[in-house]
Amino acid sequence: MITPDDFVGWLDDAGIGVFAGVPDSLLKEFGAHVMTELPPERHVITANEGSAVAVAIGSYLRTGRPGLVYLQNSGFGNAVNPILSLADPAVYGVPMVLLVGWRGQPGVPDEPQHVTQGRVMTSMIDGMDLPWARLPRSPLEAAEVVAEAVRTAVDEATPYVLLVEKDTFEPATRRPTTSDAATTTREAALAAVLEHIADDAAIVSTTGMLSRELFELRNATGESGDRDFLTVGGMGHASSIALGIALHEHDREVWCLDGDGALLMHTGALPVIADRAPSTFFHVVFNNGVHDSVGGQPTSIGVVDIPALARACGYSWAGRLSDLDDLDGLIGEMRLARGPRLLELRVRPGARPDLGRPTRTPAESRRLFMAALETGP
């Protein structure tokens, strides 16, 4: 295995400048290292993968040093446009190294949403005419591959992809710390919100821990959860999925249960929701300030006033709370408003260690959800 410290040292020796990306579970040890060891001007956790590519482009334009962009392969699609329309050798020819966590790698068991992405990963890279290599676990071999990756990226003025397999990195020597005044767990807040949602409402929950908690809460209470759509992939798109449902629901409530990282990834959905969503649309953002499912790295949500952002985007009502004692009153205010409304719930990071995963397949969940909504409100 490779130590994150050695890996970053090889990149420094090869001339890499900025590090930018979206956290990934396979890269969490690397991510912990760059969070604690690199100065802010050299490391940026971006809202989405395409923005990370753009940061690397901008840094190169100013310094002449290629950047390192890190991401999970499930987010590779977000990076395709700036890679091909900006960084490609046929356009601006900007060198960079893409460090990609290879979820769903053939032969390695993984969750359903990663299987197809993992299987087509190398063919996607080949189709984009990008040079690539697997990052070896052997430190001696890995150092050579890293040097060759940066050299090729610079010589050919191209992005170069390094695919990272599971258990490639050793644990980081130091880990980032987070501080938050919130005392309520996300699971407790979720349970409290569910008490205020009608049994016939449609629910769309975001990627990651929240959907897992929703599924387990339904099991614990003996409820079917057939009207819950668990967005197990496509981070940041839960609110737009909920919008697509709400366009056809003039009486049934549609609730989007979102996360702060997901909200940041596709914030542009907010004004579209405000412009088009009917009054049945309810948006709840569980904000713990971190990417909880992939290592707890911080998001940039701390500089955002989420209710003010929602109102500026056209939401009819927006509020915030960190004390569940006030939930009844705020839910009542939400229901009095017309048009889409948003409630930010401040919760603390983390999840219980024995949290399970949905036992239904995505296809089963989709069939049950569609059938449940056909019954009418």
The top-level CATH class assigned to 4-164 is: alpha beta
pTM recorded for the entire structure: 0.91
Helix axes 186-194, 327-336, angle to 10 degrees: 50
Q: Among 102-106, 193-197, 274-278, where is mean pLDDT lowest? A: 274-278
Farthest-apart Cα atoms in the chain, separation: 64
228: which strand partners?
A: 203
pLDDT in tens, 176-194: 766 566 789 999 999 999 9
Tokens of 288: 């713990």
Sheet with strand 96-101: strands edge to edge: 43-45, 19-21, 67-72, 96-101, 159-164, 132-134
213 vs 206, 207, 261, 285, 326, CA distance in Å? 11, 11, 17, 15, 22
What is the reported pLDDT for 178?
62
Residue range 299-317: mean pLDDT, rounded: 94
pLDDT at 133 over 60: yes
- Domain 186-374 fold is Rossmann fold (3.40.50)
What is the reported pLDDT for 322?
82
What is the reported pLDDT for 212?
94
What is the reported pLDDT for 214?
96
Where do the structural domains in the chain lie, given as residue ranges?
4-164, 186-374
More confident residue, 23 or 293: 23
Backbone angles phi, psi at 236, to 5 degrees: 95, -5
**Averaged pLDDT score across all residues of the chain:** 94
64 vs 59, 94, 155, 171, 314, CA distance in Å? 8, 9, 13, 32, 41
More confident residue, 154 or 357: 154
- As a whole-number percent, the residues of the chain with pLDDT over 70 amount to 98
Strands (DSSP E) found in 18-101: 19-21, 43-45, 67-72, 96-101
116 vs 50, 74, 124, 311, CA distance in Å? 21, 10, 11, 38
Question: What is the residue type of 82?
Answer: P
Question: pLDDT-based confidence at 323, cuts 50/70/90?
Answer: confident
Residue range 70-78: mean pLDDT, rounded: 95
Instruction: Return the SS3 of 274.
Output: helix
What is the reported pLDDT for 302?
86
What is the reported pLDDT for 175?
77
Residue range 227-254: mean pLDDT, rounded: 95
Helix axes 186-194, 209-221, angle to 10 degrees: 50
What is the reported pLDDT for 126?
98
What is the reported pLDDT for 294?
78
**Residue 164 near residue 100 (C-beta atoms within 8 A):** yes
Instruction: Return the SS3 of 363.
Output: helix
The closest alpha carbon to 16, from 72, 60, 70, 71, belongs to 60
pLDDT at 79 over 60: yes
Q: Among 38-42, 129-133, 352-356, where is mean pLDDT lowest? A: 352-356
- As a whole-number percent, the residues of the chain with pLDDT over 90 amount to 84
What is the reported pLDDT for 291?
84
Q: Own/partner pairs for 136-145, CB < 8 Å, 24+ apart?
A: 137/1, 137/2, 137/165, 137/167, 137/168, 139/2, 139/3, 139/6, 142/2, 142/7, 142/10, 143/6, 143/10
93 vs 53, 60, 223, CA distance in Å? 13, 11, 55
Tokens of 225: 């959860």
pLDDT at 375 over 80: no
pLDDT at 377 over 60: no
